[in-house]
A = this chain, B = another copy of it.
Amino acid sequence: MDFTIRAATLEDCKDISRMILELAEYEKVSDHVKITQRDLEQDGFSKNPFFHGIIAEVPEQHRSKDGHTKVGYSLYFYTYSSWKGRAVYMEDLYVMPEYRGKGIGKALMSKVAQLGMAAGCNQLNFAVLDWNKASLDFYLSQGCFDVTADMGYHCMRCEGAALENLAQGDS
């Protein structure tokens, strides 16, 4: 099947928002999604955007049963390693279920790697859920390694009241 990968624009935010929710449903955490189409428009498509996006699109004749032609996406942003320097972080990689197994996910990930290398990045980082064996196997088959398993990295987070207290300097 033909598909194209291109940079996301403001007009894609409705479809990105839809697919973020689909991905969260797949990951069984759709109640965690607080982001709206408007948030994406503001945060990704104004001056100093917080993220960048790419879209996988199929021709009209291959549109989904619900009528969609935007069938996959990736969100990414640039980060930094104090050991290795410039890095790119792939926040999301998603292909709609009926379009899987056609190389679209691989093409999206490849594009993020390309864009990262063009910006001088030495690393592509991302996260995977430990129960998602199919995704983990795919990533390992691409030569990625599990930093948590191999080097003992744990992701930590502060949010809500704890973040407010921390910012105020309260203990």
Contact = CB atoms under 8 A, between A and B. Distances in A.
A169 B129 contact: no
A146 interface: yes
B113 A142 contact: no
Contacts of A84: 32, 34-35, 159
This chain: copies in complex: 2
Nearest to A159: B123
Given A85-B39, A159-B84, A117 B79 contact: no
Interface in A74-102: 75, 77-86, 89, 91-92
Interface of A: 20, 23-24, 29, 32-35, 39, 43-44, 50-51, 75, 77-86, 89, 91-92, 106-107, 109-110, 113-114, 116-117, 122-131, 136, 139, 141-149, 151-159, 161-169, 171
Task: Report the 3 A-B pairs with minimum CB-CB distance, sorted nearest first.
Answer: A143-B162, A130-B152, A113-B167
27 contacts: A34-B83, A35-B81, A43-B85, A50-B79, A80-B91, A106-B169, A113-B158, A113-B167, A122-B159, A122-B163, A123-B158, A124-B157, A124-B159, A127-B154, A127-B156, A128-B154, A129-B153, A141-B171, A142-B162, A143-B163, A144-B162, A146-B156, A147-B155, A147-B156, A148-B148, A148-B153, A149-B154
